[in-house]
Copies of this chain bind each other. A is one copy, B any other.
Amino acid sequence: MTDQVNSTRVDAAALDAFCRAIFVGCGADEATANAATDAMMHGSRHGIDSHGVRLLDHYVTALEGGRIKKQPVIRFAAQLGAVGTLDADAAHGALAAYEGMHHAMEFAGKFGIGAVAIRNSSHFGPAGAFATEAAKAGFIGLAFCNSDSFVRLHDGAMRFHGTNPISCAVPLAGERPWLLDMATSAIPYNRVQLYKSLGLSLPDGTASDSRGIDVADPALADMLAPLGAAFGFKGAGLAGLVEIFSAVLSGATLSFDIAPMPGPDFSTPRDLGAFVMAINPEAFISRTDFDDGMRRYVDTLRNSPAREGQKVLAPGDREWAEADLRAIKGIPIDPVTEQSFRTLSGRFGVGLPFA
């Protein structure tokens, strides 16, 4: 929701078709085009614009450079019972994560739970897209990933972890899922850039200089703080959990060893890691009891007393409301992204999704 100022509004279906056609135009296979588009559109539909269609131009550069393979062969490097490790063959991260989650859901159907670690992957976009994929089919979904490092440790003065997100989606009968999708850093890096462009001071305990000392001026920010401010050992610990599941268990490169996302090298695969899990509630409890429990939990939450002038929301409520708004008003495309679309349109002979 950070890119709405001076933005063109575009119909979601037209935007979706444009992204797919550009991916196919640059030589990506259909599975890659579909997965990468679905993940970006999850971001763009729900107001997570940092992980929305603004990434199209970046992904095309990575596909053309060879960092991401246009026609990868994803296979299990290990598989036992309800789990396995996928070698993603430098696939688009969204393709690897959707495929991993589909395997996890199949395992969960048989064994009640399924988990897939993924290595040799790449940037997968919004973690919530993959957790939601599980929830749509009635499973609880979890998705983690690591990425190039931006976040210091508690009392640390080094970019150590990626923003290492945790996403969890839980089915809610009769409506869209309960959906948590959070970075384990205090704030996302694009928030620092936004504050800089708006000339605003950063909130306390969110970003540091190279010595690990908190800064208020976004221009001086060299790294992000872990979630928790004075209790940042908790955020750093959660980032570590995500790192271990995504990178150690899968055999992927650790965040502090990953080449930076913005380049300059767009030809070498970056070997990001991820971890996805699906849980079948019906292996634990009847579907009716599960649905009733979630209903009582979420209804009590939404109707609970709030601080004066505030309203309490369940994780995901803000995103679903934004999705409803964007379904009517269209999806905002910031000026930089709009310009990149014009260039891509010309290069690949694909009609623009806006006038």
Contacts and interface: CB of A to CB of B under 8 A. Distances in A.
Interface stretch (A61-69, A263-271, A309-317, A337-345): A309-317
A297 interface: yes
Contact of A315 (B237, B280, B307): B237
A5 to B, nearest CB: 22
B312 A153 contact: yes
B283 A78 contact: yes
A244 interface: yes
Given A296-B254, A305-B156, A234 B244 contact: no
Interface string A215-251: 0000000000001111101111110110111011111
Given A284-B83, A284-B249, A315-B240, A153 B304 contact: yes
B251 A289 contact: yes
A308 interface: yes
A157 interface: yes
Chain A interface residue count: which class? 35 or more
A32 interface: no
A85 interface: yes
B160 A240 contact: no
Contacts of A97: none
A168 interface: yes
A233 B111 CA distance: 33
A247 B293 contact: yes
A247 B237 CA distance: 24
Nearest to A183: B234
Contacts of A306: 155-157, 212
A203 interface: yes
A329 interface: no
A112 B293 contact: no
Contacts of A115: 112-113, 279
A323 interface: no
A211 interface: yes
Contact of A82 (B84, B113, B227, B236): B113
Given A81-B283, A111-B80, A237-B315, A305 B157 contact: yes
Contacts of A228: 186, 227-229
Interface string A274-286: 0000011101110
A83 B279 CA distance: 9
Given A168-B241, A249-B285, A250-B285, 10 more contacts: A78-B283, A81-B112, A82-B82, A82-B112, A83-B283, A155-B306, A155-B311, A229-B229, A247-B293, A251-B289
